[in-house]
């Protein structure tokens, strides 16, 4: 079955926070989704994901990034080319970036929305997320669910039309201009 929307969590769960995308995908996969939505644990990325990406109209990707922002910062990006992805994607950067560049060259890159989750460091040999990342997972899952459902329910969906702010009193994430989301520090 061709997926209208592929929700793809990538990362290495054996390296702590670097695996946040996989943790989120697993959480999302535990809930029912409408027909046409596929949730996939993409592991550390690479060319084995090409078929899944080619079959999707739109992809919601979740990945960790070492971008010097506070751990738990979440940005929703709408990169249109491989070069527009954050330069500091996590440890599987080369395989994933190569895959996206290959799909671009072939003219098969689907529309991608990237939830880039900031991490402080890659921890070795732990499967647990740090406290800041554990704290944002429930709200991030809610945001991804709402965003994905809006894509499949509205035939005229345009990312720029669906960027209404999330009330900071209701959660740790908020949307600012266009397609960007940041962590609210509640200290």
Cα 56 from Cα 126, distance rounded (Å): 32
Residue of higher predicted confidence among 25 and 84: 25
pLDDT for 71 = 92
Could you read off the pLDDT of 121-173 as tens digits, one per residue? 888 789 999 999 999 999 999 999 999 999 888 766 655 544 333 333 334 44
Q: Considering the entire predicted model, what is its pTM?
A: 0.80
Residue of higher predicted confidence among 59 and 185: 59
pLDDT band at 104 (very low <50, low <70, confident <90, very high): confident
Question: In the predicted model, is pLDDT for residue 89 greater than 70?
Answer: no
pLDDT for 163 = 39
pLDDT for 176 = 32
pLDDT for 92 = 54
Cα 97 from Cα 32, distance rounded (Å): 30
Domain 5-183 belongs to what topology? Rossmann fold (3.40.50)
Question: In the predicted model, is pLDDT for residue 181 greater than 60?
Answer: no
pLDDT for 159 = 55
Q: Write out the chain in H/E/C secondary structure.
A: CCCCEEEEECCCCCEHHHHHHHHHHHHHHCCCCCCCEEEEECCCCCHHHHHHHHHCCEEEEEEEECCCCCCCCEEEECCCCHHHCCCCECCCHHHHHHHHHHHHHHCCCCEEEEEEEECCCCCCCECCCCHHHHHHHHHHHHHHHHHHHHHHHCCCCCHHHCCCCCCCCCCCEEECCCCCEEECCCC
pLDDT for 3 = 62
Spatial CB neighbours of 173, under 8 Å, sequence gap ≥ 6: 74, 136, 139, 140, 143, 166, 181, 182, 183, 184
Question: In the predicted model, is pLDDT for residue 186 greater than 60?
Answer: no
* Rg (alpha carbons) of the chain, rounded to whole number: 15
pLDDT for 158 = 59
Spatial CB neighbours of 113, under 8 Å, sequence gap ≥ 6: 58, 59, 60, 61, 76, 77, 78, 147, 159, 179
Cα 4 from Cα 37, distance rounded (Å): 6
Could you read off the pLDDT of 2-58 as tens digits, one per residue? 568 999 999 999 999 999 999 999 999 999 999 999 999 998 877 788 888 888 999
């Amino acid at each position: 079955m061709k997926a209208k929307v592929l929700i793809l969590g990538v990362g290495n769960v054996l390296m702590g926070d670097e695996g946040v995308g996989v943790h989120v995908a697993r959480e999302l996969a535990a809930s029912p989704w409408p027909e046409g939505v596929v949730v996939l644990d993409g592991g550390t990325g690479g060319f084995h994901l090409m078929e899944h990406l080619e079959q999707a109209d739109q992809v919601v990707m979740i990945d960790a990034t070492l971008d010097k922002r506070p751990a738990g910062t979440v940005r929703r990006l709408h990169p249109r080319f491989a070069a527009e992805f954050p330069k500091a994607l996590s440890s599987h950067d080369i395989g994933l970036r190569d895959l996206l560049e290959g799909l671009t060259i072939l003219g098969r890159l689907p529309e991608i929305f990237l939830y880039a989750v900031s991490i402080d460091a890659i921890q070795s040999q732990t499967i647990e997320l740090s406290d800041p990342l554990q704290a944002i997972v429930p709200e991030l899952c809610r945001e991804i669910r709402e965003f994905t459902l809006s894509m499949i329910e509205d035939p005229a969906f345009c990312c720029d039309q669906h960027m209404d702010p999330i009330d900071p009193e209701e959660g740790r994430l908020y949307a600012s201009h266009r397609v960007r989301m940041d962590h609210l520090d509640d200290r």
